Amino acid sequence: MEAVRLNKYLAVCGVCSRRDADKLIEEGVVLVNGERAQAGRKVSDADVVTVRGKTLHTPQDHVVLAYYKPRDVVCTERDAHAGRIVTKEIGYPRRVTYAGRLDKDSEGLLLLTDDGALIDAMMRGRNGHEKEYIVKSDKTWEEAAIANLRAGVYLEELSQKTRPCKIERMGDKTLKMTLTQGLNRQIRRMCRTQGYEIKSLKRTRVMNIELGNLKPGEYRELTEAERTALYGLCGLEAK
């Protein structure tokens, strides 16, 4: 591997995102050739990089999983008391982490990988990657409320207006929503601005990957065609 910035190296090795890598470097738990690493340093496979005493190696190939996250399973890697945690529930033999969260009360498609560069590319909000959801509310949807959501609504708690989105009515109380953002509890907050509470929320697609026939708690490795297309949409070359 050619020399790259240390935070990218940690991401490529599947340790964490670049942002979290910067925090680890700042905390002093990252060593390069036995010395405390400095932010901005470049490293390659010729260097010995350790995080909390564990030596890193760039993987020769990466895995990407499609997982049906059930309700009550939590996307976290820091809270040891969170109960059911995604990475423990899935029990995959290699360390993988998620690209984009689903809150505890939501279910559906979650992509997990050991490729930090892929996670980083998928998480950049400016890339506008699509995510599709089936949303069931507590009452019948009025067309005016749907039109407001499509155009974008202001979320006072986050001091931000949502991007325009695609919405298809699937029933009196059921919508298919396609977003290009990943704000915290975004759909629930959006619907609340129109006076609706969400009874169930399921993500059915992330970019080109569909939930398909997976059942809650099941996962599968992406096909080669899916991997190639996913990496291409992220501006990366599949490994």
Q: Please list the active-site residues.
A: 103
Task: Report residue 88 as tokens.
Answer: 């423990």
Interatomic CA distance for residues 194 and 28, integer angstroms: 47
Residues 6+ apart with CB under 8 A from 104: 71, 72, 73, 74
Q: How many CB atoms lie within 10 A of CB 201?
A: 22
H/E stretch holding 113 reads strand 107-113
Task: Report residue 192 as tokens.
Answer: 């609340």
Interatomic CA distance for residues 225 and 235, integer angstroms: 15
Interatomic CA distance for residues 132 and 21, integer angstroms: 29
Q: In this structure, is the dihedral angle defined by the CA atoms of residues 221, 222, 228 and 234, taken in order, positive or negative?
A: negative
Give which of 206, 202, 193, 199 is closest to 146, Cα–Cα. Answer: 193
Task: Report residue 20 as tokens.
Answer: 């979290």
Residues 6+ apart with CB under 8 A from 6: 21, 25, 30, 32, 37, 39, 40, 41, 42, 43, 49
Q: How many CB atoms lie within 10 A of CB 128?
A: 10
